[in-house]
Amino acid sequence: MKKKKLNKNWLHDHINDPYVKLAQKEGYRARAAFKLKEIDEDEKLILPGQVIVDLGCTPGSWGQYVRRKLAGAEGGGINGTLIGLDMLPMEPIADFHFIQGDFREADVLRQLEDHVKGKKVDVVLSDMAPNLSGIALSDAARMEHLIDLAIEFSQAHLKPNGALLVKCFKDMGFNDIVLKFRREFKTVVQKKPKASRDKSSEIFLLGRGLKNPTDGMLSAQPFDSDEIHP
């Protein structure tokens, strides 16, 4: 009975959420687009001509926002390269190169390399989060693991002055994640956009400028694909 009431309350809040209504009005697939929009407007993150990789991109609202920022003349494609990866399928987005698969697998990384065409990446975005077990230590470890994957990916593919934006949660090993970011990036800022619900411990970390960039592709290392969702 309690779970049913919680679901009903969530549905009520969701239907009446101004960002849900705005997403529907502006044609975004999810309200998450406005989180990235606010961060981008504050930090001048997305610029024409960039190579951008969106990890955990499904259902595609971040990709939609970035595509609009990179759009050229009406019907003229985009000024830049936009690539998304996810283990879940995604409805197509114009000028968006979607790769379905685990980005730690060699064949998926090869597909990414084909799309990048030898260029280094300007921005890596990650809206990934773990499927929650309800066990605090386990959930924190899963969240930290996802951040580790995003950092390793960035070390291999980002330009030295590139940026990594990831979703975190204050109650999921956040302090350890911040320390990792500070070890890897020259500047680190925390962002809590208005579109992120007040009740949520969700927060975003933005790292700029790799301290120790590496060259080449990552070696594939298997992990439990059931652990993550976009």
Q: How far apart are CA 134 and CA 183, in angstroms?
A: 29
Supply the pLDDT for residue 64: 96
Distance from the Cα of residue 89 to its chain's centroid? 16
Q: What does each C-alpha distance from 158 to 70, 105, 163, 195 come to in angstroms?
A: 19, 18, 7, 27
C-alpha dihedral sign at 172, 154, 193, 5: negative
- Does position 219 have pLDDT exceeding 50, yes or no? no
Q: Where are the domains of the chain?
A: 30-229
Q: pTM to 2 decimals?
A: 0.86
Greatest pairwise CA separation for the chain in angstroms: 55
> Higher-confidence residue: 45 or 71?
45
Q: Is 198 labeled as ligand-binding?
A: no
167 is catalytic: yes
Q: Is 102 labeled as ligand-binding?
A: yes
Q: Is 40 labeled as ligand-binding?
A: no
> In sequence order, which residues have a C-beta less than 8 Å from that of residue 220 and are 6 or more positions away?
104, 105, 106, 109
Following CA atoms 45, 48, 54, 57 in sequence, which dihedral angle do they give, to the nearest 10 degrees? 110
Q: Is 176 labeled as ligand-binding?
A: no
* 163-215 tens-digit pLDDT: 999 999 998 889 999 999 999 999 999 999 999 887 888 999 999 999 987 76
Give 73's pLDDT tier (boundaries 50, 70, 90): low
- Looking up tokens 């990446």 gives 121
**Among 171, 168, 202, residue whose Cα is nearest residue 188:** 168
- Which tokens belong to 32? 């998450």
Domain boundaries 30-229, corresponding CATH code: 3.40.50.150
Supply the pLDDT for residue 75: 55
Q: What does each C-alpha distance from 140 to 2, 132, 148, 202 come to in angstroms?
A: 25, 9, 12, 13
Q: Is 42 labeled as ligand-binding?
A: no
* 38-55 tens-digit pLDDT: 999 999 999 999 999 999
Q: Are 8 and 16 in contact (CB under 8 A)?
A: no
What share of the chain in percent tops pLDDT 70?
A: 83
Backbone angles phi, psi at 179, to 5 degrees: -60, -40
Q: Are 175 and 146 in contact (CB under 8 A)?
A: no
Catalytic residue of the set 35, 37, 69, 167: 167
> Could you give the residue ranges of the DSSP H alpha helices within the chain?
2-15, 18-26, 33-43, 61-70, 106-116, 136-157, 174-184
- Which tokens belong to 192? 């809590």
